[in-house]
Amino acid sequence: MIIVTSAYALVEVQRLDDLEKKEGMSREDQSKQILLFFQNQFISLRPLDRQIGELAHEFTRTHSLAGGDALHVATAIVNKVDVFYTWDEHKKRTRRGLLIHNGKIGAPPLRIEKPPSAVAGTLFDEKNIPEENKPESAKKPD
């Protein structure tokens, strides 16, 4: 499976709260870990272009999506993904979350669902990072 996401995700993911709180990881080290994660072979970053921007603009008006959410949904639609996975049920009183829009955006309608199963731990746990994508200092000796 390939995860398709907007390059905007690089801006959105700014820190790893669990690693900061539990392990005292500095913001700089968190940033390196985040950027390294997005280099995984199973992630395909897609550029933000005018087509996606205009479609996202439309979604902010027609579906009351927040700007970042609209960019992700537009990226998914333009790139014809099979399903958009999110845990975004509800954030604030003014936002209903993304899951409520399942089957209501795009032509054909975009499936917006919770992921089928959660991986134990976080995506940034060393066990979830392929060996070839780990920094030299984190690789296991042969």
**Where do the domains of the chain lie, and which CATH numbers do they carry?**
3-138 (3.40.50)
d(CA 83, CA 76): 8
Ramachandran angles phi, psi of 119, nearest 5°: -80, 140
3-state secondary structure of 46: strand
pLDDT of residue 6: 94
Q: Is the pLDDT of residue 111 over 90?
A: yes
What's the mean per-residue pLDDT of the chain? 82
Longest dimension (CA), the chain: 55
Q: Model pTM?
A: 0.73
Mean pLDDT within 94-115: 88
Which residue, 76, 15, 68, 83, is CA-closest to 46? Answer: 76
Mean pLDDT within 91-114: 85
Measured torsion, CA atoms of residues 70, 89, 6, 82, in degrees rounded to the nearest 10: -100
